[in-house]
Amino acid sequence: MLDKKVATRKSYGLALKELGEKNQNIVVLDADLSGATNTNIFAKSYPDRFFNMGIAEQDMFSTAAGVASLGKIPYASTFAVFAAGRAYDQIRNSICYPKLNVKICATHSGVTVGEDGATHQMLEDIGLMRGLPNMTVISPSDDTQTKWVIEEISKIDGPVYVRLARLETPIIYDENQKFEIGKAVQIGDGTDATVIATGVTVSEAIKAMENLKEEGINIRVLDIHTIKPIDREKIIKSAKETKRIITVEDHSIIGGIGSTVCEVLSEEYPTKVTRMGIKDTFGRSGKGIELMGYFGIDSNAIINEIKKEI
């Protein structure tokens, strides 16, 4: 575990091709980024069901809505900033309000995009997307989970936002791992603290857990792959069983899983929560992995935070 690395955007591309083989109703759209989002893998196998829409994201998501209205299952991809950001109104009014069956698979989320810098590092998408009625929001943490998610969401009748990453991250789960939409995965059962993570920060949290164990500090990790609907039960259970709750995400601390966890706990089991994430600032250029350190969302930052609190 954690040795082999794959970017979830790559897992997406491979899973999409497999799904396209099984299900003739799958249609894929991209906005001139098919090499980067990896939808080009599907395009090569099923050119008749692949539509390159050019650099026109607003058009792409509205077109996907029209395709879905006839019973097809469109997967539409671009970078997260151009999906949730640029095409927000199209996603809101043409997809979510009429509850059309469009799968928005947004790659290049967070500061881990790296060198492209702030304009391309989407840090607000979880907040934007989970605020939309009818939307399901999923942020898978590794290759295994992503492949499961891509097929699983084809069975949901309604819009889904999947948040994928550019950075190669460790494979966490083996092929036998079972997942369920809306159910967090608990890793470890320490009671000193719970680290709630999503996407690229899950493997960092696991690394932190393993390091801390050697020092006699026992924590657990909650992998929140489904941000909406949120797994209230597991969050409350961990708040009751552990001394501290820390959230960590490659996303703004405003509106992301930190906020989501606070909403759940403040209503049902008031608990002090520490939110680790991008602290109301834009990103910057650098290597993805360096930026995780710079913005304090890597395993070292998690270890330091836990030692400070315990």
Considering only the stretches 39-47, 91-99, 115-123, 289-297, report the one whose residues sit in contact with other proteins under the rule CB under 8 A: 91-99
Cα gap 55→235, rounded to integer Å: 40
Per-residue CA distances from 63 to 2, 27, 133 (Å): 39, 11, 20
Tell me which residues in 96-125 interact with other proteins (CB under 8 A): 97-99
Over the window 17 to 56, marking each residue x when it contacts other proteins by CB under 8 A and - when it does not, the resulting string is ----------x--------------------xx-x-xx-x
Per-residue CA distances from 36 to 39, 114, 118, 218, 280 (Å): 8, 14, 18, 39, 27
Considering only the stretches 87-95, 164-172, 193-201, 214-222, report the one whose residues sit in contact with other proteins under the rule CB under 8 A: 87-95
Adjacent-strand bridge partners of 168: 7
For other proteins, give the closer residue by CB, 68 or 138.
Answer: 68
Q: Of the candidates 67, 162, 200, 239, which one interacts with other proteins according to CB under 8 A? A: 67
Number of H helices, E strands in the chain: 13, 14
238 binds other proteins (CB under 8 A): no
Task: Find out whether 154 and 206 touch, Cβ atoms under 8 Å.
Answer: no
Cα gap 169→306, rounded to integer Å: 22
- Least Å distance, CB 208 to other proteins, is 44
68 binds other proteins (CB under 8 A): yes
Considering only the stretches 37-45, 86-94, 210-218, 260-268, report the one whose residues sit in contact with other proteins under the rule CB under 8 A: 86-94
Considering only the stretches 64-72, 176-184, 209-217, 272-280, report the one whose residues sit in contact with other proteins under the rule CB under 8 A: 64-72
**Dihedral sign computed on CA atoms, order 232, 236, 242, 244:** positive
Q: How many residues at the interface with other proteins, by CB under 8 A?
A: 31
Closest CA to 106 of 31, 157, 178, 24: 31
Which structure tokens are listed for 57? Answer: 């994201």
Q: Of the candidates 63, 144, 194, 247, which one interacts with other proteins according to CB under 8 A? A: 63
> Which residues are at the interface with other proteins (CB under 8 A)?
27, 48-49, 51, 53-54, 56, 58-72, 74, 89-90, 92-94, 97-99
